[in-house]
């Protein structure tokens, strides 16, 4: 993750401000340090023979006015593009697409109000279009940060903050919660997937579909049984094509990611898994076996699943594309 590779207009604007200030500061640095070095040399102590004191400039009004006014002018000049960028990058355009982003310890939830989609960890957006992240937090302070797309912004419980995001091109961008929010803060990551608008439409249509309810005899059936019998539905929502089996979680205290399209996401557990070099299934196995061991403090408890139950769950979860 770096702020020096902006992939959209908002991040580019911030990057431009950084370089402007950097070069102005560099010029000031070179002039000031250069002047000090010149003076050290010119006014150095040459020994007793020319011990005459150099001309003193203390109380030189014109000089003092100059070195007060020049920095003030530089700061005033820098403030013009800076303040205007702050105003332009705050808030969203009225016609931008809204995605509600909710911070949880320790994962990000994404809700698309116009499309009726609920997902987690991977925020999918159409490229070349302004997206308005309408953000809040479910528990403590979090901070949503996708360096390639924009700066950081707080997620505050009970308040709404806005962050405009736009990517020029399709691509994948990493993010991170940027406010210390408890034990697994460092594992609270995010990923933004920008797609061609037509691919995005296809993704939306897919996400809107419910999950197939497994029936006896199907390979997913055993895993689905584990899901319903082991208390997973206390915390996880799955929308099935048979409404009577769907569970819509309304609890505020213990909700987990929506699993209806779990397998359509390349990463899970706050985008912290799979780790680099680790296979997806191995990571999922590790996660289901003992979540707090993978993510300290995780609100998904160790449910003491057997090896068989975990394997069955992986088959069922894998069918929720
Ligand atoms: C007490 C609530 C709770 C229960 C019960 C629970 N989970 Fe979770 N689950 C969570 C939370 C919270 C997370 C997110 C944890 C994180 O990323 O820090 C999570 C994450 C997951 C994920 C990763 C999802 C993603 O997209 O990141 C899977 C898969 C999962 N749970 C499956 C299960 C299964 C299967 C069961 C039952 C055997 C279960 N959970 C029981 C709360 C729960
Ligand atoms: Cu956080």
DSSP characters over 187-222: G-EEEEEEE-HHHHHHHHHHHHSPBPPP-TTSTTHH
Q: Which atom of ligand 1 is nearest to the CA of 262?
A: 26
- Beta strand ranges found along 6-106 (DSSP E): 97-104
Q: What is the pLDDT of residues 90-140, one digit of tens each?
A: 889 989 999 999 999 999 999 999 999 999 999 999 999 999 999 999 999
The pLDDT of residue 56 = 73
CA angle 113, 262, 132 (to 5 degrees): 30
How far does residue 303's CA lie from ligand 2's centre (Å)?
24
Percent of the chain whose pLDDT exceeds 90: 83
Per-residue pLDDT band for 49 (boundaries 50, 70, 90) equals low
Going from the Cα of 185 to the center of ligand 2, the distance in angstroms, rounded, reads 5
Place of tokens 């023979």: 49
Atom of ligand 1 lying closest to residue 291 CA:
15
Average pLDDT over residues 223-234: 92
Options 3.40.50.300, 2.60.40.420, 3.30.530.20, 2.40.70.10; CATH for 97-199 is 2.60.40.420
Report the alpha-carbon angle 213-298-321, nearest 5.
25
pLDDT digits (tens, 9 = 90+) for 190-202: 999 999 999 999 9
CA of 236 to the centre of ligand 1 (A): 7
Span 293-316, pLDDT tens digits: 999 999 999 999 999 999 999 999
> To the nearest whole number, what is the mean pLDDT of the chain?
92
- From the list 18, 5, 8, the residue with the least C-alpha distance to 150 is 8
**Among 90, 110, 111, which residue's Cα sits nearest to residue 163?**
90
Least confident of 70-79, 92-101, 176-185, 239-248: 239-248
Within 6 A (CB) of ligand 1 lie: 106-107, 120-121, 227, 230-232, 234-236, 254, 256-257, 262, 265, 268-270, 288, 295, 298-301, 303, 305, 313, 317
Most confident option among 22-26, 58-62, 64-68: 22-26
Q: Other CB atoms closer than 10 Å to residue 66's CB: what's the count? A: 11
Q: What is the pLDDT of residue 243?
A: 80
pLDDT at residue 53 in the model = 73
Convert the pLDDT of each residue in 230-269 to its tens digit: 989 889 989 988 888 777 765 555 689 999 999 999 999 9
What's the predicted TM-score (pTM) here? 0.90
Tokens of 297: 């403090």
- Specify the residue with its C-alpha closest to ligand 1, atom 30: 288
Assigned token pair, 99? 């995605």
Is 97-199 in the same CATH topology as 9-89? no
| Contact status, residue 287 vs residue 310, Cβ threshold 8 Å | no
Place of tokens 């699943």: 305
CATH of 221-319, one of 2.60.40.420, 3.50.50.60, 2.30.42.10, 2.60.40.10: 2.60.40.420
Radius of gyration of the chain (CA): 28
pLDDT band at 42 (very low <50, low <70, confident <90, very high): confident
Write down the domain spans for the chain.
9-89, 97-199, 221-319
Q: Distance between terminal CA atoms of the chain?
A: 28
Write the CATH number of the domain with boundaries 9-89: 1.10.287.90
Kind plus residue range of the DSSP H or E element containing 195: strand 189-195
**Residue minimizing CA distance to atom 38 of ligand 1:** 232
Three-state DSSP class for 214?
A: coil
For residue 118, what are the β-bridge partners?
111
Give the number of whichever ligand sits closest to the CA of residue 311.
1
Q: What pLDDT sits at residue 249?
A: 64
**Hey, which of 104, 109, 236 would you mutate to test ligand 1's pocket, going by the most ligand atoms within 8 Å of its Cβ?**
236
């Amino acid at each position: 993750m770096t702020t020096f590779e902006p992939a959209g207009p908002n991040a580019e604007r911030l990057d431009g401000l950084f370089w402007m200030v950097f070069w102005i500061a560099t010029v000031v640095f070179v002039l000031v340090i250069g002047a000090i070095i010149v003076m050290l040399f010119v006014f150095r102590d040459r020994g007793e023979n020319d011990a005459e004191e150099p001309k003193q400039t203390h109380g030189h009004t014109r000089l003092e006015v100059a070195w007060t006014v020049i920095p003030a002018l530089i700061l005033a000049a820098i403030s013009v593009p800076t303040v205007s960028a702050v105003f332009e990058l705050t808030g969203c355009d009225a016609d931008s697409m809204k995605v509600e982003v909710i911070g949880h310890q320790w994962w990000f939830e994404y809700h698309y109000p116009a499309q009726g989609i609920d997902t987690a960890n991977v925020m999918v957006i159409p490229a070349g279009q302004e997206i308005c992240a309408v953000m809040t937090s479910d528990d403590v302070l979090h901070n949503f940060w996708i360096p390639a797309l924009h700066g950081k912004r707080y997620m505050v419980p009970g308040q709404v903050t806005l962050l405009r995001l736009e990517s020029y091109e399709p691509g994948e961008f990493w993010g991170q919660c940027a406010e210390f929010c408890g034990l697994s803060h460092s594992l609270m990551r995010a990923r933004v997937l920008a797609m061609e608008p037509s691919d995005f439409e296809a993704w939306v249509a897919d996400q809107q579909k419910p999950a197939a309810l497994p029936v006896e005899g199907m390979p997913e059936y055993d895993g689905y049984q584990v899901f319903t019998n082991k208390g997973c539905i206390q915390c996880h929502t799955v929308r099935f094509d048979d409404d009577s089996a769907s569970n819509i979680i309304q609890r505020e205290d213990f909700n987990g990611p929506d699993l209806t399209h779990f397998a359509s996401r390349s990463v899970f557990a706050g985008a912290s898994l799979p780790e680099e070099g680790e296979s997806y299934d191995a990571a999922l196995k590790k996660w289901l076996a003992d979540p707090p061991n993978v993510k300290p403090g995780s609100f998904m408890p160790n449910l003491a699943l057997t090896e068989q139950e975990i394997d069955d769950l992986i088959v069922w979860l894998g069918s929720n594309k």
